[in-house]
Structure 1
Amino acid sequence: MLDFDTCNAARLRRDPAYDGAFFTAVRTTGIYCRPVCPVRPPLTKNVSFFPSAASAERSGYRPCLRCRPETAPFSPAWNGTRTTVARALRLIEDGALDTGTVTELAARLGIGPRHLARLFAEQVGASPLQVAQTRRVQHAKRLLNDSDLPMTEIASRAGFGSLRRFNAAVSALYGRPPSSLRKPAP
């Protein structure tokens, strides 16, 4: 965290270089702001500084309705849809679509399935199901290379609902059956 004098000087100048680096809390109003807030600056004796919006809220301050500190640079709201897609990708990596649906994934993210599909098309270039399928096939390929597990066990561990779907997905991608991808025993 920056020292008091540096934060105070940046606040008084409304310096955009410090936007998101700290938040100004005003004791007399109970509100916290970004350093670039357009309201009349409060007296220095009434302010304190916090490194994050969460720490200001934990101390009992509420966000300013003018400068909207929750949208400060590098916050989830500022990152916007990138944050949503990144969270969706983490959930898919954790197997959210192995047993659930895209609709359920979208609900967990607080958006609709059509919006989720649009976000993936814009930012990933593939649908959530295609991402999940690629993850499953890659996991299966690693298991084929690194283990001597039976095909049914590989299919199950990779997140496929059935051996038939596993065979079809691997064959569609590699143009040959999964058994031919397995490294021969030395």
Structure 2
Amino acid sequence: MRYHAIMLSFDVCNAARLRRDPRYDGRFFTAVKTTGIYCRPVCPAKQPLARNVVYYPTAAAAEAAGFRPCLRCRPETAPFCPAWNGTRSTVARAMRLIDDGALDEGSVVDLATRLGISSRHLARLFERHVGATPQQLAKTLRVQRAKRLLDAGDDSMTAIAFQAGFGSLRRFNAAFAELYGRSPSSLRARRA
């Protein structure tokens, strides 16, 4: 596992997953190699074999590794409890700015400048503490916002795309197709 410094051990994660322990919800995500899907530790789906799972500290890290979010446990609803804490205020501030849309219209260079560091240093900090790039985190947050909007209301796809921070309907549809393997409208139809 690459995230020893910030990630719980495999055994701790595995035990928490097998118990479906709610205390660990949001502290790690379980990616299943055989299905290509990642879940919360509380997911009600059938438990995969331990040899088929990999654990990630964030949803963005699981997505950066090529896994799709589970449609049953909905990782976008997990409480956000980062696997790191303490004095890492630069990363925390960057994550808040990204969550507020800093990368929806701006660049990583702009974000790093606002933080008073180089974009290269920001990328290193994100790799170390988040396990994904700032762009991947921004994309994950946009898709999560859009998924919540899809689940919660009946706004048009265009309205949801722009509310979630996508620059175009085409990018919105492409992000959903890449992540979920289906269109946003098919996910909404599934809800009904």
Pairwise same-fold verdict (TM > 0.5): yes
What does residue 138 of structure 2 align with? 132
Write the letter of the residue equivalent to 2:183.
Answer: P
Match of 2:117 among 108, 111, 119: 111
Residue 179 in structure 1 maps to residue 180 in structure 2: no
CA–CA separation in structure 2 for the residues paired with 1:173 and 1:162: 17
1:74-114 deviation per Cα after TM superposition (whole angstroms, max 9, x unaligned) = xxxx92xx110000001011111111110000000000000
Aligned length: 107
Match of 2:172 among 142, 166, 170: 166
Q: Which ranges in structure 2 are unaligned for 5 or more consecutive residues?
A: 1-85
RMSD, aligned α-carbons: 1.5
CA–CA separation in structure 2 for the residues paired with 1:86 and 1:146: 28
TM-score of the pair, normalised by structure 1: 0.55
Shift of 1:184: 6.0
What does residue 147 of structure 1 align with? 153
Identity across the alignment (%): 65
CA–CA separation in structure 2 for the residues paired with 1:185 and 1:87: 35
Structure of larger gyration radius: 1
TM-score of the pair, normalised by structure 2: 0.54
Write the letter of the residue equivalent to 1:92.
Answer: I
Write the letter of the residue equivalent to 2:156.
Answer: P
| Superposition misfits of 4+ residues, deviation over 6 angstroms | none
What does residue 98 of structure 1 align with? 104
Write the letter of the residue equivalent to 2:150.
Answer: L
Shift of 1:135: 0.2
